[in-house]
Amino acid sequence: MRKPPMIALLLMTGACSMNPKLAVPPAPVAPTYPDAEAAEAASAATIDWREMFDDPRLQRIIALALENNRDLRIAALNVEAARAQFRVARGAQWPQVDATGSYTRQRVPTAAATAGIGGLPGGGGGPSGYEFEQYTASAALTSFEIDLFGRLRSQSQAAFERYLASDEGRRAARIALIGSVVDAYLEERLAQEQLALTERTLADWTASLDITQRRHAARQASGLDLAQAEGQVRQAEADHAMRTRALAQARNALQLLAGAPLPGDLPAPMSLMEQPIRTQLPAGLPSDLLRNRPDIRQAEHALVAANADVGAARAAFFPRLSLTAMFGFTSLALDGLFDGDNRSWSFSPQVTQPIFRGGSLRGELRLAEVRKSIAVADYERAIQAAFREVADGLAGRATFVRQSDAQRKATQASARRVALSTLRYRAGLDSRLELLDAQRNDYAARQALLDLRRQELSSAAGLYRALGGGDGA
């Protein structure tokens, strides 16, 4: 008897696909950005993050975060998990062959051994029974599904697309981490410089209070002047405590993002006004986002995976052809195990056609279709969110320069007012209340200028992140 042509059956695995045709929806956004030039250069996403953030201290901290941040490490591990899941799904498409070897030694009572079977060949007969050995070696193919309708192929494709989506998620996490480190660094710089400004102001106002106290003791200043000067100092002391707390919290946030204590040999910090972060970035076109934003590519891979899930759910309605086969040798003596006469084989194909499942197959198909619709909406939402983030960044690019220039001039004017109010107060032309108001306005204007500079730099970093910058190594 000839062996069944198993190899020919295995070649039947060239399955058709039940995946529906996938039409990726067009980008639901305008063809150009608001506040963008008609013909801008290529997107700033091509700029390396080291060129974008040219502060050596900031570069060291970003590199430290990329190496040690736990969120990024989890994202990388999720990629490995998705890759392993894809290998599991792909492995189901191939035959699973197991090799087995066994040895059996058995004793049979004489009455059982001689009852109608005429004794046991090769056995060691005795007055009370027979003992014999049996050796077996085999290779088995167990329940291999021949994927005629592409169910396993669709599941493998879905797993592969989810692996790609997880890798894009890791890239998106990298971009987000760089942006978060920049924001935290700018917050730390702002807190440090605002604290320094508060300390200088507090020292000046404390000296002014000391002069007022002496003048009051000499009956040259009223009690109202003394109360106003003291209130000004106490407010500055409260601000100092607040700025100290803000600096500590900003440093804690920066260290958390870095994933490790900040080294003591970091380069000296640069002031906010001297930060070399680029603030005028080209945006390109919205179509560039589909290529540059990993979160959009992640949503697209998730959409393809959901479409493959629909194909697998469709294929579940059709028959499944599975194959179980075994080829091996069985012998009562080890030295003759692989003799030709001792070979054995079995071949068992099986066809299963679902007839009644209580609606579960239709439910699974409907679930897959709904999840595909959700994936479409997620993809469109990712594009719209990216478009909005870029538009916000361009709005900042268009207005921060004018706002910063106006605030700088306002700070210069407040400084002139303080100088003039001081002269008029000493000449007895203005009350101390006018001088205090001028000093408070100047203090607030300087704090506002620092905060505005931080916002301008953060907006530029946000636009760079929104365009997909920072994806490179």
Determine contact, residues 302/378, Cβ cutoff 8 Å.
yes
Question: What secondary structure does DSSP assign to 363-401, as a single string?
Answer: HHHHHHHHHHHHHHHHHHHHHHHHHHHHHHHHHHHHHHH
Percentage helix, strand, coil, to 5, in the chain? 65, 10, 25
Q: What is the predicted pLDDT for the residue at 13?
A: 47
Q: Which amino acid is at 327?
A: F
Q: What is the predicted pLDDT for the residue at 41?
A: 65
Smallest CA-to-CA distance from 207 within 179, 169, 245, 233 is with 233
Determine contact, residues 406/385, Cβ cutoff 8 Å.
no
Distance in angstroms (rounded) separating the CA atoms of residues 352 and 436: 90
Q: What is the predicted pLDDT for the residue at 162?
A: 94
From residue 51, give the alpha-carbon distance in Å to each of 56, 61, 67, 144: 11, 15, 19, 55
Count Cα atoms within 13 angstroms, Cβ side, for 323.
25
Q: What is the predicted pLDDT for the residue at 35?
A: 67
CA 117 to chain centre: 72
Name the fold adopted by 95-146+319-352.
Outer membrane efflux proteins (OEP) (2.20.200)
Count of beta carbons in the 10 Å neighbourhood of residue 65: 24
Pairing of strands 124-125, 320-331: unpaired
Mean pLDDT for back-to-back runs of 10 residues, the chain (473 residues): 44 67 86 69 85 95 94 91 88 84 81 56 58 83 82 91 94 94 96 96 91 86 87 94 96 94 93 92 84 92 95 90 85 77 84 86 93 94 93 91 94 95 85 87 95 96 92 69
Q: What is the predicted pLDDT for the residue at 15?
A: 57
In 3-state terms, what secondary structure has residue 418?
A: helix
Query: Hey, which residues does 345 pair with through a beta bridge?
Result: 327
Domain ranges of the chain: 18-93+148-318+361-466, 95-146+319-352
The pair of structure tokens assigned to 137 is 């070696």
Q: What is the predicted pLDDT for the residue at 37?
A: 64
Q: What is the predicted pLDDT for the residue at 7?
A: 44
Task: Give the phi and the psi of residue 70 in degrees, each rounded to 5.
Answer: -75, -35
Contacts within 8 Å (CB) and 24+ apart, 326-329: 326/138, 326/139, 326/140, 326/141, 327/3, 327/138, 327/139, 328/100, 328/136, 328/137, 328/138, 328/139, 328/140, 329/135, 329/136, 329/137, 329/138
CATH 3.40.630.10 fits 18-93+148-318+361-466, yes or no: no
Determine contact, residues 421/430, Cβ cutoff 8 Å.
yes
Smallest CA-to-CA distance from 73 within 252, 250, 260, 251 is with 260
